[in-house]
Amino acid sequence: MSDINRRTLLRGMGAAGATLAFTGLASASDGSAQYLLRSNGNSIERRLRNTDFALRHELAEGDVAVVTGPADAADELAGVRQVSSVTRDVTVELELPEVDAEPSSTPGEDAALRGLQWDKDLMQVGDAHEVATGEGARIAIVDTGIDLDHPDLGNVNADLGRAFVANDDVPEIGPDDSGYHGTHCAGIAAATGEVGVVGMAPEAELVPIRVFPADGGATFGDILAGIDYAAEIGADAANFSLGIPGVQQPGADINKLRANVQRVFQSAVRRGTVITGSAGNDSGNLQQGGGLTLPNSVPAVITVSATSPADTLSFYSNYGTSDIEVAAPGGWYETIPRTLGETGEPGDIPFPLNGVLSTWPTTLSSSVGLAGYDFISGTSMAAPQVAGLVGLVRSLDPSLNANQVESVIKQNAEGTNGSSGTEFGAGRINALNTVESLR
């Protein structure tokens, strides 16, 4: 998962985080193996009759399917009529790093939480809300779920929420948060400001799509099912702050999944859903040698790098002209020493307040003593900034297709010349510029 634990800096690695780590090949709850396949034609379920395989998800308008069945039987599945390719699905799991640094200062109990949202100030969100607040837009968060009881997330549509989890150890919670990550991303995109913090699109509707159990891993098949469902319900934006750690090389086995990812995402975009994804936290160059990450490095995704309070690339963020569309505040500075206050400039924001403040599950403790709120940094925090901005754009002009929405956001970003900056792509997003361009 593309975020960085609020109190952790792993020196010498260039990035840290609650990342997705491979835990093995994916299996369903009954122990059967899980596969992703491409299908030339509809009715894959009918074609699986009288075989040892069962359909879990049919995605991308019938072009991709998630299927369970015997292990080591890919060849048998490939022999099913009109199946063009078969790939064994993988499971990825959250890895939380150990605490390495303590906060240098914390806000008081009576702090004005909006005043701690430096990220929204950089993007001129307050002024943008004089023009648009996201009313009428729908934003799906494909993640760990969303805290359904949070006072700043009263705009969550729990009825539309879904859980796509192969081995669900908490089925009773449905789309509620099985961790914390989805709640934090949701607040960045669309917190209402009822109590503590304000999101980019505070009057947009949020839809929680949970793809993680409380303990264990998510499968690629379920992540793709979440994106497909977001398109099915007409979400204006679908944010997934998820990604495989490291910069993958073109010949890596994991890249066999790329074609299926691309098909599902392109189908969602055709249906009008803008997909926003985090660039990853490996300080990696996604340009040299054909490096890429999944599921971010496909053309249908607005891939977002992370910036600091000083409008510099955050030290952990991946970069590369070939992949980065835009940048958005993700927290921390361009170096670890500046992040910790060991070096820096007058006016720098101290650690951990130079992270991104957002909503936090009310049942979990906060590292800074603010119940229901916490600071995290990572490209995970950058992506939902853009998802919220999609909500503002669509609230002003619902007729724009997904590609047009992306173009408007890029054209009104700032900080780069042109649209091919290595670190920021078209630039760091600016909410006020964007909404004013549509007046």
Catalytic residue numbers read 143, 181, 380
Whole-number CA gyration radius for the chain: 20
Helix count (H) and strand count (E) of the chain? 11, 16
What span, in angstroms and rounded, lies between the C-alpha atoms of 355 and 118? 9
Structure tokens at 424: 């920021």
Q: Give 425's strand partners.
A: 421
Handedness of CA 380, 272, 148, 114 (dihedral sign): positive
Alpha-helix runs per DSSP H in 271-378: 336-339
Q: Give 128's strand partners.
A: none
Which amino acid, one-letter code, is at 310?
Answer: A
End-to-end alpha-carbon separation of the chain, Å?
A: 37
Distances (CA, A) of 292 to 182, 299, 302, 374, 381: 24, 12, 14, 30, 20
Residue 172, SS3 per DSSP:
helix
Handedness of CA 257, 268, 404, 358 (dihedral sign): negative
Give residue 265's Cα distance to chain centre: 13
What span, in angstroms and rounded, lies between the C-alpha atoms of 217 and 117? 32
Structure tokens at 336: 């670890």
What span, in angstroms and rounded, lies between the C-alpha atoms of 82 and 304? 36
Q: Give 414's strand partners.
A: 428
CB 273 within 8 A of CB 236: yes
Helix or strand (DSSP H, E) at 256:
none
